[in-house]
A = this chain, B = another copy of it.
Amino acid sequence: MAADANFIVTTYRVEGATDLEKKAKSIAVGLTVGTWTELPADKQKTMAPHLGQVVDVKELPPAADGTPRGEITVGYPVINVLPDIPALLTTVFGKLSMDGSIKLVDVDLPEAFEAQLPGPRFGVEGVRERLGVEGRPLLMSIFKQCIGMSLEELKEAYQAQIDGGVDLVKDDEIFFADEQAPAVERVKTFAALNREREEQTGVKTLYAVNLTGPVDQLVDRARRLVEAGASCLLLNVLPYGFDILHRLAAHPEISVPIMAHPAFAGAVYSSPNHGLSAPLLLGKLMRWAGADMVLYPSPYGSVAMPREEALGVAEHLRSEQPHHRRALPGPAAGIHPGLVPVLYRDFGTDVLVNAGGGIHGHPQGSTAGGKAFIAAIDAVTEGRSLEEAAADHPELRTAIEKWGVLVH
- In the complex, A247→B215 CA distance in Å? 8
Assess the B219–A216 pair: CB atoms within 8 A. yes
Distance of A242 Cα from B224 Cα, bound (Å): 24
- Is A159 among interface residues, defined by CB-CB distance under 8 A? no
| B-chain residues with CB within 8 Å of residue A31 when the two chains form the complex | 174
- Seen from chain A, the residues whose Cβ lies within 8 Å of a Cβ on chain B are 31-35, 46-47, 49-50, 79-82, 84-87, 89-91, 93-100, 104, 144-148, 172-174, 176-177, 212-216, 218-219, 236, 238-244, 246-247, 261-268, 270-271, 273-276, 297, 302-303, 305
> Across the interface, do A263 and B97 meet the contact criterion of CB distance under 8 Å?
yes
A264 touches B94 (CB 8 A): yes
- Known pairs A93-B263, A100-B303. 14 more at Cβ < 8 A? A31-B174, A32-B147, A80-B177, A82-B176, A86-B212, A90-B263, A95-B174, A97-B263, A99-B303, A215-B244, A239-B241, A239-B242, A267-B268, A267-B276
The interface residues of chain B lying within 8 Å CB-to-CB of A147 are 32-34, 50, 80
Q: Contacting A95 at CB < 8 Å: which of B89, B98, B144, B173?
A: B173
Would you call A240 and B273 a contact (CB within 8 A)? Answer: no
Distance (whole angstroms) from the CB of A123 to the closest CB of chain B = 22
Q: How far is the CB of A111 from chain B (nearest CB, A)?
A: 18
Q: A47-B148, A98-B297 in contact; A264/B218 too (CB < 8 A)?
A: no
Residues in B with CB closer than 8 Å to A87 are: 176, 212, 239
